[in-house]
Structure 1
Amino acid sequence: MSDFWSMGGYGFYVWTSYALFLVLLGWDALAPRIRERAALRAAQARQRREAARQKT
């Protein structure tokens, strides 16, 4: 089993690569959602400002 984890001396690089890949894959999945929420919040704030401006 330790041979599996060490991978002939390259285990650190291999497992680091896998971990980095998973982190980037997660970020790639979450980033558009984060940007979409921010854009929606900005649009809602703009609508509220416009509505308040029209009332006065």
Structure 2
Amino acid sequence: MMAFDSLADFIQMGTHGAFVWSTYGLVLLILAGLIANTIQGRRKTLRQLKKRYSRETHS
């Protein structure tokens, strides 16, 4: 039932292992960057909104 005879065969993916695994790595790196950027942007927006609220309520 298994497509590969061993873990080493799975990792090598025939002769395409380097391409397959580097592609997975690149996708994970991009996703991590997008998540970090989203979190950073949200924090920045919240800080700006808090400053604006503080200015408007204490003026």
Same fold (TM over 0.5): yes
Q: Deviations over 1:1-56 (max 9, x none)?
A: 221111112111110101111122222233222101012223334555664xx4xx
Counterpart residue identity of residue 41, structure 2: R
Unaligned runs of 5+ in 2: 1-6
Match of 1:40 in 2: 46
Segments of structure 1 that go 5 or more residues without pairing to the other structure are none
**Match 2:28 to one of 15, 22, 30:** 22
Percentage of pairs with the same residue: 33
How many corresponding residue pairs?
A: 52
TM-score in terms of structure 2 length: 0.59
Provide the aligned C-alpha RMSD in A.
2.1
Which letter does structure 2 place at the counterpart of 1:2? Answer: A
